[in-house]
């Protein structure tokens, strides 16, 4: 079984309406030009704020999962009859905590929210401190059955933690979706491609890693197959990146490279 996935490598703004308009244009083109079954948007696509934006602005921008932005994105999924994955800033339920969640929403082609995930491993690295404004989630994503196989999910910096991808694979994921906002920096582009590739190869699963793009983020989204072969690659500018994903390839690779059967977890503790 195969399906058409399209990565919407876009840069978001601090204006949600602009981002929704960009999303609709991307979905329309993804469907008309590529026959998309699923469209993946980047991490935190709902809104982007430049460094130095007042904390209260970011806090006030956050919404609930059933808020207007998610509802509007779900309406677009239904309108264009595609599954979508996108990042957003989710309001915390704790009035004593002035942080928000870095969340991802998975919605089906009827516009129904199928699952959500709150990023658990935060980007406190390379001089950044995501945890100062983002509250970590308390559970990894549980892979879900879809018409396109079983989907796992992780977010950006979490590529640096092999345990997260392995958890997804051990729970049956055929495809790992990775909405991202990979920050520019020395050798960071090499890190990005290396990590996306090895997460695919070590788990013999597809990895679909869709990145934000602007003066802060690198773009260069990737789809890598279970043998570690790069099937699709974005450049440093906005655009749609289509890729045909064949689930039979997962079984084919696992038959010749059955590393998942050779694990000895009793040695890993």
User: Catalytic residue positions?
Assistant: 43, 119, 156
Helical axes 162-170 vs 188-203, angle rounded to 10°: 30
Query: Coil, strand or helix: which one is 136?
Result: coil
40 close to 23: Cβ distance less than 8 angstroms? no
Radius of gyration of the chain (CA): 18
CA 181, 169, 106, 136 torsion-angle sign: negative
> What does the block give as tokens for 96?
């004593």
How far apart, in whole angstroms, are the C-alpha atoms of residue 54 and residue 249? 47
Helix (H) or strand (E) holding 196: helix 188-203
> Do residues 88 and 46 lie in contact, with contact meaning Cβ atoms separated by under 8 Å?
yes
Residue 120 CA to residue 239 CA, distance in Å, equals 28
Give the Cα separation of 90 and 207 in Å (integer). 25
Q: Residues 6 or more apart from 126 whose CB is under 8 A from it?
A: 183, 185, 188
Q: The tokens of 253 are what?
A: 């690779």
């Amino acid at each position: 079984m195969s399906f058409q996935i399209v990565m919407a490598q876009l840069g978001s703004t601090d204006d949600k309406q602009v981002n929704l308009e960009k999303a609709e244009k991307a979905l329309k083109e993804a469907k008309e030009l590529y026959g998309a079954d699923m469209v993946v948007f980047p991490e935190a696509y709902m809104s982007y704020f430049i460094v130095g934006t007042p904390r209260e602005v970011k806090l006030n921008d956050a919404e609930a999962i059933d808020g207007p932005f998610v509802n509007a994105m779900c309406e677009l999924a239904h309108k264009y009859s595609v599954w979508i994955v996108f990042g957003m800033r989710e309001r915390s339920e704790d009035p004593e905590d002035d942080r928000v969640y870095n969340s991802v929403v998975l919605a089906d082609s009827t516009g129904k929210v199928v699952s959500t995930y709150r990023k658990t491993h935060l980007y406190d690295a390379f001089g950044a401190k995501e945890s100062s404004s983002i509250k970590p989630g308390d559970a990894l994503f549980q892979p879900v059955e879809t018409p396109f196989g079983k989907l796992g999910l992780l977010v950006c910096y979490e590529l640096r933690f092999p345990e997260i991808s392995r958890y997804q694979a051990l729970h049956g994921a055929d495809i790992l979706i990775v909405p991202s906002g990979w920050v520019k920096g020395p050798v960071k582009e090499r890190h990005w491609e290396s990590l996306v590739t090895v997460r695919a190869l070590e788990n013999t699963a597809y990895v679909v890693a869709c990145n934000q793009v602007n003066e802060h983020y690198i773009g260069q989204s990737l789809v890598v197959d279970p043998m570690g072969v790069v099937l699709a690659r974005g450049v440093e500018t906005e655009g749609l990146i289509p890729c045909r994903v064949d689930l039979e390839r997962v079984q084919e690779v696992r038959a010749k490279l059955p590393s998942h059967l050779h694990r000895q977890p009793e040695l890993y503790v």
